[in-house]
Amino acid sequence: MAQRLILPGELGDVFTPAEALRFGISAGRLDRHPRVAAPFSGVRVRVDPPRQEESPWDAWKRTALLHARAYARVMPIGAFVGGFTALAVLGLPTPRWHPDAMPDPRVVEISVFAPRRSVRATGVLPRQIRPALCHVVTRDGIPVASPASVWAMLADRLTAHELVALGDAIIRIPRIPPLPIERAGPPKGTLAQLKAAVEAGPRAGVETLREAFGLVRQGSSSPGETEQRLVMLEAGLPEPVLDHDVYSARGVLLGCSEIAYPRLRIAIECEGDQHRTSRAQWDRDIDKYQAYAEAGWSVMRATDRLIHRQADENVRRIRTLMVRAGWRPGDPVV
């Protein structure tokens, strides 16, 4: 029986046949290995089995990043990662709420500046863009379109709501409550950079981009939270507060809510699947909502189904809580 080939950990998950040969692994043995793939000429990747508890979105981003890193090893000078692949390189979320709507993560979107000819290679989706419409940065050694540039590049491929979600993610300042936003980490981009991308010049989808820019807000932590806010605004509800810390009457931090009407003591919680699958998260939620109730707060818990498929029922539940708290239509309370 042939001895099973074990790949040395020192090879990493992206390597060349020449690097493998230094460990005594020939190209022939490498290409017969069940956990090695050759996405591009001259480079190999280690293929890991599916990970337990990994969401489809995380799996998409992991695969897209792996292939972007692989192509970066052989990418022509002057080319850079753009489009959907750039989201994985930049650590931005996939704005489409269903992973099946995303493109194949194994196909890397590579851009060049006009008038340079687009890259032609198997496993590559080529793009050409005018220099005025894109700014290139480097992330972990990979040339990639900047966050604001990627946002604008996707204007003709995303809906207005999806562009708002991506814009929200770009300007989000990550923080751990009760840390004030002034002391939190930097965002991936700024509102000024998004505005500059909108005004950079004519491009496909620019009208949708302008519409989305007017709805981008600071404080949204996920595409689901953005969609929930947009559902509320389109139904005529007042603009809510985002990323709001809730305290007891004695000044004890009870929790942070994604969307809130503080004067009415109403919180809207957007609950992804981890709230159901994680026992620790489940326990925290029970304690949090009990504390909210004791402090006089009402909570509307919004699942993906309620956010994306049952907008009318979603809004009805919120409006019911608001009216019960003394709100009347037309009152711009927060």
- pLDDT class of 6 with cuts at 50, 70, 90: confident
288 and 173 share one domain:
no
Written as one string, the DSSP assignment of 37-97 is EEEETTEEEE-PPPPTT--HHHHHHHHHHHHHHHHHTTPPTT-EE-HHHHHHHHTPPP-SS
Query: Which of these ranges, 61-65, 140-144, 183-187, has the smallest mean pLDDT?
Result: 183-187
How do residues 264-277 score in pLDDT, each as one tens digit? 999 999 987 664 55
How do residues 65-88 score in pLDDT, each as one tens digit? 999 999 999 999 999 999 999 999
Q: Which residues sit opposite 269 in a β-bridge?
A: 301
**Residue 109 · residue 81 · CB < 8 Å:** yes
Neighbours of 22 (CB within 10 A): 12
Query: Which of these ranges, 30-34, 182-186, 231-235, 300-304, has the smallest mean pLDDT?
Result: 182-186
Domain boundary among 152, 186, 213: 213
63 and 206 share one domain:
yes
Domain extent at residue 236? 223-324
Determine, yes or no, domain membership for 293: yes
pLDDT at position 1 over 50: no
157 SS3 class: coil
256 SS3 class: strand
22 and 74 share one domain:
no
208 and 292 share one domain:
no
CB-side exposure of 275: number of CA atoms within 13 Å?
A: 12
94 and 42 share one domain:
no
Neighbours of 249 (CB within 10 A): 8
Give the chain's largest Cα–Cα span. 78
29 and 65 share one domain:
no
Closest CA to 206 of 169, 162, 160: 160
**pLDDT in the model for residue 2:** 45
**pLDDT in the model for residue 53:** 78
Determine, yes or no, domain membership for 117: yes
Written as six digits, the tokens of 24 are: 């005594």
Structurally, how many domains does the chain consist of?
Answer: 3
**pLDDT in the model for residue 142:** 98
N residues, the chain? 334
How do residues 220-230 score in pLDDT, each as one tens digit? 999 999 999 99
Question: Mean pLDDT throughout 176-191?
Answer: 88
- pLDDT class of 3 with cuts at 50, 70, 90: low
pLDDT at position 97 over 80: no
Give the DSSP letter of residue 126.
E
Whole-number mean pLDDT of the chain?
93
149 and 234 share one domain:
no
280 and 201 share one domain:
no
Determine, yes or no, domain membership for 2: no
Could you give the CA distance from residue 212 to residue 154 in angstroms, rounded to a whole number? 12
- pLDDT class of 48 with cuts at 50, 70, 90: confident
Determine, yes or no, domain membership for 295: yes
The dihedral through the CA atoms of 7, 9, 15, 21 has a sign that is negative
Determine, yes or no, domain membership for 330: no
Those residues whose C-beta lies under 8 Å from the C-beta of residue 330, and which sit 6 or more positions away, are none
Could you give the CA distance from residue 263 to residue 270 in angstroms, rounded to a whole number? 20
Could you give the CA distance from residue 291 to residue 307 in angstroms, rounded to a whole number? 25
Does the pTM exceed 0.85?
yes
Determine, yes or no, domain membership for 1: no
Determine, yes or no, domain membership for 240: yes
pLDDT at position 297 over 80: yes
76 and 208 share one domain:
yes
Could you give the CA distance from residue 306 to residue 315 in angstroms, rounded to a whole number? 9
27 and 119 share one domain:
no
155 and 252 share one domain:
no
- pLDDT class of 105 with cuts at 50, 70, 90: very high
181 and 91 share one domain:
yes
**Residue 108 · residue 63 · CB < 8 Å:** no
Written as six digits, the tokens of 278 are: 């994680």
pLDDT at position 287 over 70: yes
- pLDDT class of 313 with cuts at 50, 70, 90: very high
Could you give the CA distance from residue 242 to residue 244 in angstroms, rounded to a whole number? 6
pLDDT at position 5 over 90: no
33 SS3 class: coil
